[in-house]
Structure formats: structure tokens, C-alpha cells
A and B are shown apart, each in its own frame.
Chain A
């Protein structure tokens, strides 16, 4: 595509946004545009906001009609220098439409799938076609969307799966065995059902402990482990977070709990809170979370540790923590000693794979290469 022409497109705010309505243009066609300028107002069923410019130029075309709904990535306008001829812009607009249609057709395929396993019906996403296989395992109370900023980057060089653990996301909410061994068995059952013989396991928080447990119990199935803000590496865990997450049933109660997940508490949007409240209201979720919390994190102590055994094993390990993790102390990053590659990233909290996705993706790609 023409690099002198910058498209203004329908943004994607939050995972569930598939379309948005143009409510009004803040700049008329022909206006000079500088980075940071507010160009067009957009609203979704949840939020209203403004699309800002990242470029310098002139608003050459205003395409999005007010009060009209457009899919995410649809072309709303064109910014280009005055020097760019109209014919070039018209060609760009025509080509953009064709390309968008092709991409839309691709995205018709469901983003996630379901598979029946001994631990129930589990939801998962699959991306990429690489020879290397990666399985992403979210933490306590999370779901596969916790890997939103990682899955596509990793899929450039691997086949990547992300699952919803039993009791989580859109998977079955029954949880037969809320111990690390039970969750590890559920993970292996998921890998069996999909014919995944051996994979690099990337686990966040409780998912890290599950990855570690699986590497110890079924070493032939695990090529390496990446433990991100991981449980299972030391005694302490913030009971204020785990208990608060289990108990909160309103937005007012849940917000301060979720703010502990991030270095920057403003990361907690109403969408994030609403999505989690909707999850927590589903039948069976309260029971599953209560059972997990009692089994693994009662009284602010982690009941099951994998650090010592992992340190004595020969499974390749990468440990990543956010320096301001308020859920699990970042000092736990050193638990495997010289056995592991260790990186503690400044400016990130417990959700380091979201807050510093670029760096975490680089580290994982180097680790599994």
C-alpha cells in the first residue's frame, strides 16, 4: 500500500468490539492534521471516544458517514500531504475496500473453538502454523483473552494454542480436582484431545505453576516452560487480591482488586470490569474460584510449590516478572537460580504480558527458538 497515504480507520476498543458508529467529525475535510489531533468521534455499545491522529498531513477524504455503523478497521478517512495527487488517493480507497473485504471473509472463521476433554468442554483459540507448538495457560480467574497481545505475535513463528482452564472463561465450570495436579491433568487431557504431543508451555500466575507441575510430571510432553508472574515459586501471595477477586460481586468492589494487577491502575477499564463481572455471575464460577483459592492460596500462602523440583530438573525455563507485581512478589523470579533465564521488567505489574507485551513476546520467541 502507498506509504504517503495514512488511513483513518474504525478503532478496536476492547476485545468484544466488532463495530462502531461514527457520531461526528471534529475536523472538516481539508483540515491540516497534526499528531494528537482529535479527528472523529466514535461510539460502541459500551463506550464513546475519539480517534486521534498519529500523523501529520491534510484530512483529504472524509468517508465515514455520521450516525452510520462500520466494522472495526473500516476506512473512515484519509490523511495525506497536499502533494499526493487525488488519483493516488482514489486508487488507495478502492484497493482498501477490496482488502478489507478479503480480511473480513477470513475473520468469518470463529475466533475460538470448543473441544471435549476428560475435564469437560474447554474453549481454546489456535493461531499460526509453525512447526513449534506453544500452549498459553492463563492464571486464576483469567481466560484466553489474557494473551490478547501475545498470541498473534507468537503465531508468527509457532502454532499457538490458548485455552480457558476448567472453571474459567467459556469452558465448563465444573472443577473435579482444584489442585495443581488436577489442573495439570486437565491440561494434558486438552493436549491429548488436540493431538499435541509436545509443546512449549507458557503460563501466567497460576498457569505458570500448572506449566511447572506438568513439566515435572510429564517431561516428555514439555519442550520448555515460560513462567510469567508465576505462582509455585515461593510462599507468599497477596491474599487481598485472591480473596477480593473471589468475593467481589459489584463493580465498586472489583475495581480496586483489579487495579492491583497492573503497574498503572488506569489500565483497568469499565470493559475489563464488566467482562469479569459477567464471568463471575455464571453458574458454577463462584464454586470453582472458591475451591481453587482454598486449595492453592489459602491464608495468603501458596500451598503447592514447584520451584525446587524445577531447579533440579533439566527442563529449559524462562522466568519473567513485572517489577511492580503486587500479587506475587517479583523476588520469586530468582527461585530457580542460575537454572533459568530471568527477566524482571520495570513499569509492569502482575499482568506483565499485557503491560509490556512487546518485550515479553521477544523473550518468549528467543526462549522457544
Chain B
């Protein structure tokens, strides 16, 4: 009964289902149609990696190819949201967000607050994040902490196809601006995904694996890496619990704290640069609120504080690996346990 589809197909399906359900859902972005008007619409690009492929044939001019001006069309999407539409704008690479920070940080994120709760801004900005794609320093960053820093934005980063569909549907139905981060290295990963529509509530972490000795916290690509580390650790007798945050704003502190209270050890895995990151945020919160439960200093496994290198050998070293996670866990368990 299982229906295995990819992360990329799951996102396409969520967009399709929500466009069918709600006529105010529209899509804008660079090349999201890609070839409209040419013969053979199904052959059109459908986004730079084909995520929106086939949607123009189904929904016609509710998809709009925009000029190469992020500040213009992200602003247009935010304005359309304020006027009653539910736009989903595709920004291709999250790295390009820099040119439209004012629209996002000062406009979309502030409307509800500055208009006394009378305005809502149900816009979703989808963008690819993360390294491993050989796309160099300007197309590979994990900039999630920039967005979690801003009150008024919701920040989502799914780790698997099932979550990608349910979280994107929730993002579209949500009345606040949502930054939806799609890890490009996960586009091909498959999971059992129901054909029907379903929404995964924000602020609910998923316990991807139960364990009792150490809590591994991650999101996006670091979740499969943490699961792989947990397999290795199990062979040396260390039982690791793996928490997939799913959403970074809001963030599910309760699940993290409850887990650390059971395991006494914390390792946070974050593909973002190490300063002021999701990793530092989680470690700070746990240290402040569950200090008594900790048996060892919390550890962080992050990218180094450098741009993403273009050299494939260096880029592979840049992303937190399962081996680095295992080594960090051993720092928390001490040499006795690791020798077991």
C-alpha cells in the first residue's frame, strides 16, 4: 500500500492539491513555468530543478514566470497576500533572498504587528537551501538562522518527502509569512506519502528514532545524517534519540527538553555556519532550562565558519557528516562508552 514518492514530487503534489482546493493560491517565480506558450508544455522546465513541472498544464495562468528581479516579485507576492491571495513565490536559491530583505523583514514580517492584528500576510516563499550540489558559495548556504532571528516569520525545513508535503500544505494554509526551505540534496529522497491532503502542524518536532543515551537534534539534511550516525552508534552500544525539528520558527522546545531529560546528553547538528545558528540557539535553550539534566557539555556539529567551497573535496568536508556526529557523541559519553 505504500506509495513511495520523492521529496520533489511531494512538493509538486502539495502545490497541486492546494491550488485545486483554494482558488486564491497562485505561484510566482523565475522559470517556474519555463517555456509556457511553446509547444509541449509538459516539456517546460518547471523551475530550475523541475519542482513545478506540469503545474502550468493543470492550472494555467495561476502560475506566473517573473522577471529576474527578486525584490520586485517577492514584493508583489507579499502585496498580493495582504490583498487576499495566498501566493507561493519560488525564490530558487535562498542565497538570493538578500536583495529582497526589506520586503521580507520590514514589510511581510511586520504587517500583522504594525496593523494591530488586522492584516494577515499568507505568503509562502519557497527556496532551495544547503550544500552538496557543486553550486559554489552563492547557491549553497544554509541561511535559516537569518530568518529565525526575525519575529513574524515562520521558518520550515523538511527532512523527508512525507513531511515536505504536509508542511507545505500547512504553510500555504497558514496566515503568516512562511520561509519554506527545501534542501536540494533531498529532492530525490523517497518516502511513503499518502495521496490525500494532510497538514502537519508547525512547532511539532518529530522523534525520528527513539534512544536513551544521547539526543541528536537536526533539521533538513542533517536528519538523515544523524540517523546514519545513530546506526553506527547502536553498534557500539550507544542508543541515540534523533529529533527532527521540522520547523525552526516556531520551534518545539518541549520535545527537545523532554528528550534531554531522558538522555542527559545533547548533540545539535546544523548545516548553518556556527555563530548565532540553530545549533547555538538549541544549546543555549537547553542549557538554560534543563541544566540539571545534562551529564556532559552539549556538543555542536556545524559547517565551519567559511563560505561553502567550490572544490568538491572541500565541499564534502564542509557539510556535517555522520562520522563527525559520532565523534561529537563520543565527547559526551566519554571514552568508556565509546570503547564498548
**Are A283 and B197 within 8 A (Cβ)?**
yes
- Whether A278 touches B194, Cβ cut-off 8 Å, given contacts A43-B231, A270-B210, is yes
Most buried by A among B191, B192, B196: B196
Which parts of B193-244 form the interface with A (CB within 8 Å)? 194, 196-201, 204, 206-207, 210, 231, 234-235
- Could you mark each residue 80-107 of chain B with 1 if its beta carbon is under 8 Å from any beta carbon of chain A, else 0? 0000000000000000000000000000
Q: Can you report 12 A-B residue pairs in the complex whose CB atoms are below 8 A from each other? A: A16-B1, A16-B192, A23-B231, A48-B234, A170-B1, A249-B201, A270-B207, A270-B210, A281-B166, A281-B199, A282-B196, A283-B196
Number of interface residues of A (CB under 8 A): 21
Chain B contacts of A16 at CB under 8 A?
A: 1-2, 192
Name A341-367 residues within 8 Å CB distance of B.
Answer: none
**Residue A112 at the B interface, CB < 8 A?**
yes
CB within 8 Å for A278 and B1 given contacts A48-B231, A252-B254: no
16 extra A-B contacts, CB within 8 A, seeds A16-B192, A282-B194: A16-B2, A23-B235, A45-B191, A48-B231, A249-B201, A250-B204, A251-B207, A270-B207, A278-B198, A281-B166, A281-B198, A282-B197, A282-B198, A283-B197, A283-B198, A283-B199
B151: shortest Cβ distance to chain A, in Å?
24
Judge whether A244 is part of the interface by a CB distance below 8 angstroms.
no
B258 in the interface, Cβ–Cβ < 8 Å? yes
B-side binding surface: helix, strand, loop or mixed?
Answer: mixed
Residues of A237-293 at the interface with B, using a CB-CB cut-off of 8 Å, are 249-252, 270, 278, 281-283
Q: Does A18 contact B (CB under 8 A)?
A: yes
Closest A residue to B197 using CB positions: A283
User: From residue B7, how far is it (CB to closest CB) to chain A in Å?
Assistant: 15
Docked pose: A249 CA to B200 CA in angstroms: 9
Nearest A residue to B169 via CB reads: A283
> In whole Å, how far is B141's beta carbon from the nearest beta carbon of chain A?
30
Chain A, range 283-312, C-beta contacts under 8 Å to B: 283
Per-position binary interface string of chain A over residues 18-39, scored 1 when its CB falls under 8 Å from any chain B CB and 0 otherwise: 1000011000000000000000
Cross-chain contact A252 with B255 (CB below 8 angstroms) = yes
Shortest Cβ distance from B227 into chain A, in angstroms?
10
Interface residues in chain B, defined as those with a beta carbon under 8 Å from any beta carbon in chain A:
1-2, 162, 166, 191-192, 194, 196-201, 204, 206-207, 210, 231, 234-235, 254-255, 258
Residues of B within 8 A of A250 (CB): 201, 204
- Tell me the number of A-to-B contacts counted with CB atoms below 8 Å: 42
Q: What residues on B are CB-neighbors of A251 within 8 Å?
A: 206-207
Would you list which residues of chain A between 37 and 72 have a CB under 8 Å from chain B?
43, 45, 48
Name the residue of chain B whose CB is nearest to the CB of A17: B2
Chain A minimum-CB-distance residue to B252 = A250
Write the chain A residue with the least CB distance to B208.
Answer: A46
Q: What residues on B are CB-neighbors of A282 within 8 Å?
A: 194, 196-198
- In A94-110, which residues have CB < 8 Å from any B CB? 110
Minimum CB distance partner of A251 in chain B: B207
Find residues 103-121 in chain A having any chain B CB closer than 8 Å to their own CB.
Answer: 110-112
Q: Which residue of A lies closest to B234 (CB)?
A: A48
Q: Does the CB pair A252–B231 fall under 8 Å?
A: no
Give CA–CA (A281, B200) in the complex, Å: 7
- A18 to B199 Cα, complex, angstroms: 26
Measured CB to CB, the closest approach of chain A to B199, in angstroms, equals 6
Partner of B235, one of A24, A249, A270: A24
- Chain B: CB-nearest residue to A15: B1
| Chain A hits for B192, CB < 8 A | 16
Per CB-CB distance, the 8 closest pairs between chain A and chain B, nearest first, are A281-B198, A283-B197, A282-B198, A282-B196, A250-B204, A249-B201, A48-B234, A281-B200
Q: Which chain B residues lie closer than 8 Å to A18 at the CB level?
A: 2
> Are A111 and B1 touching (Cβ within 8 A)?
yes
Q: Bound state CA distance, A249 and B231, in angstroms?
A: 29
- Report chain A residues within 8 Å CB of B197: 282-283
Complex Cα gap A23–B258 (Å): 29
Chain B proximity of A263: nearest CB distance (Å): 22
Residues of B within 8 A of A111 (CB): 1
Nearest B residue to A23 by beta-carbon distance? Answer: B231
Q: How far is the CA of A281 from the CA of B166 in the complex (A)?
A: 8
CB distance from B324 to the nearest CB of A (A): 21
Q: How far is the CA of A283 from the CA of B210 in the complex (A)?
A: 28
In angstroms, Cα B261 to Cα A252, docked, is 15
- Could you tell me the distance in whole angstroms from the C-beta of B166 to the nearest C-beta in chain A? 6
CB distance from A163 to the nearest CB of B (A): 15
Question: Chain B residue with minimal CB distance to A269?
Answer: B210
Closest chain A residue, CB of each to CB of B230? A48
Contact: A249 with B204, CB < 8 Å?
Answer: yes
Complex partner residue of B258 from A48, A170, A252, CB under 8 angstroms: A252
State in angstroms the CA–CA spacing of A170 and B198 once bound together. 13
B50 to chain A, nearest CB (A): 26
| CB closest chain-B residue, reference A280 | B198
Which of A18, A110, A112, A251: most chain B Cβ within 10 A? A251
B196 cross-chain contacts in A, Cβ below 8 A:
173, 282-283
A122 to chain B, nearest CB (A): 14
Chain B contacts of A170 at CB under 8 A? 1
How close is B308's CB to chain A, nearest CB, in angstroms? 30
C-alpha gap A252/B194 in the complex (Å):
23
Q: Which chain A residues lie closer than 8 Å to B199 at the CB level?
A: 281, 283
Complex Cα gap A110–B194 (Å): 16
Give bound CA distance, A119 to B332, whole Å. Answer: 57
Q: How distant is the Cα of A278 from the Cα of B204 in the complex, in angstroms?
A: 13
With a cutoff of 8 Å between Cβ atoms, the chain A residues found around residue B194 in the complex are 278, 282
Chain A 210-252 interface mask (CB, 8 Å, partner B; 1/0): 0000000000000000000000000000000000000001111
Note all chain A residues with C-beta closer than 8 A to B198: 278, 281-283
B255 — nearest CB in chain A belongs to which residue? A252
User: What is the chain A residue whose CB lies nearest that of B199?
Assistant: A281
Specify which chain B residues have a CB less than 8 angstroms from the CB of A252 in the assembled complex.
254-255, 258
- Residue in chain B with minimal CB distance to A250: B204
Q: Are B207 and A112 in contact (CB under 8 A)?
A: no
Closest chain B residue, CB of each to CB of A273: B207
Residues of A within 8 A of B235 (CB): 23-24
Residue of B nearest to A281 (CB): B198
Kindly provide the distance from the CB of A250 to the nearest chain B CB, expressed in whole angstroms.
5
